[in-house]
Amino acid sequence: MAEPDAKKPKIPMSQVVATKNMPFRIYMGYDSHEDITFEVAKYSIMKYASVPVEVIPLKRAELQARGVYTRTQDPKQTTEFTYCRFFVPYLNNYKGWAMFVDDDFLWTRDIAELLDMIDDSKALMCVQHDYKPTVSVKLAGREQSAYPRKNWSSMVLWNCGHPANAGVDLETINKESGAYLHRFTWITDDSLIGEIPFEWNFLVEWYVPDKDEEKPPGAIHYTEGGPWFPDYRNTDYAKEWFAHMKEYEATLPKQRLLCPFELFSTKGGKVLEGYPNSNEVWTWTD
């Protein structure tokens, strides 16, 4: 017979999700300039997931319409959802676990592997990159900013009900600086930030692919520009992204239109052919 104070063995989160049959919430950044990026990332998560998951697009315009997002445009933000990620605990009613992830990811393995790393003692968990950008521009020619804990917030497992996350309320999100938020400054005890292996936020053009790898990283992050941009067609893991894009397109009732970022180039990259708007040109205006 077990001692009265004996700890019960931890039940893996994937088992909890499967048993309750309640989808694990994944809040994914959404930028209207790159709809295909969101759709391929969502498709790849769903393709490999062995547990029920719900992928929720984080759209700035919707949060603004609800009166939740009141920040003014930050000239340094490179996506519409730069600050939306910090609303996850609020949107999840400060209860349970949920995930935020950027849209420029490709998932190649079962997300249950990641969920089983969850540690209830942590306020949040992320890949703790020692990342210093080597280029001055990214994405659609936007300025690349360097700061401590760069890219930590691009994929976060949030323990929404943890007392430390009471510090990321609406006032804080809408008033504090990007540096304060992206560094998780409201968490004053660094031991509350759990660490996830880098293969679950593998930074393309920063981490070097293993030529002998038996399987790709679990989550590939095209942080400096993905293959949907004409100028990044040959980046690492481009073939894998296009393969998933084709699978996603095969599920559509009709051929899609290219989105703005697929029509944008600063280096003479060629737009994908065969789409209704392949001959259009898009220039950055906002």
pLDDT at position 40: 99
Instruction: Take residue 89 and report the two structure tokens written for it.
Output: 């605990």
pLDDT at position 171: 98
CB within 8 A of 129, min separation 6: which ones? 149, 150, 151, 152, 198, 201, 203, 206
% helix, strand, coil for the chain, step of 5:
30, 15, 55
CA distance 152 to 127: 6
Q: Of 204, 210, 165, which is closest to residue 187 (Cα–Cα)?
A: 165
Specify the CATH number for 13-263; select among 3.40.50.300, 3.90.550.10, 3.30.1330.30, 3.20.20.70.
Answer: 3.90.550.10
CA distance 283 to 286: 9
Instruction: Take residue 134 and report the two structure tokens written for it.
Output: 């080597």
pLDDT at position 113: 97
pLDDT at position 228: 98
CA distance 8 to 231: 53
**DSSP calls for 155-169:** EEEEETTSGGGGGS-
Per-10-residue mean pLDDT, the chain, length 286 = 54 87 95 98 99 98 98 86 98 98 98 98 97 58 64 98 98 96 97 98 92 87 96 96 99 98 94 97 77
Q: Of 94, 113, 70, 67, which is closest to residue 215 (Cα–Cα)?
A: 113
The pTM is what?
0.91
Residue type for position 38: F
Q: For residue 246, count CB atoms less than 10 angstroms from its CB and return exposed for 0-12, middle for 13-18, buried for 19 or more.
A: exposed
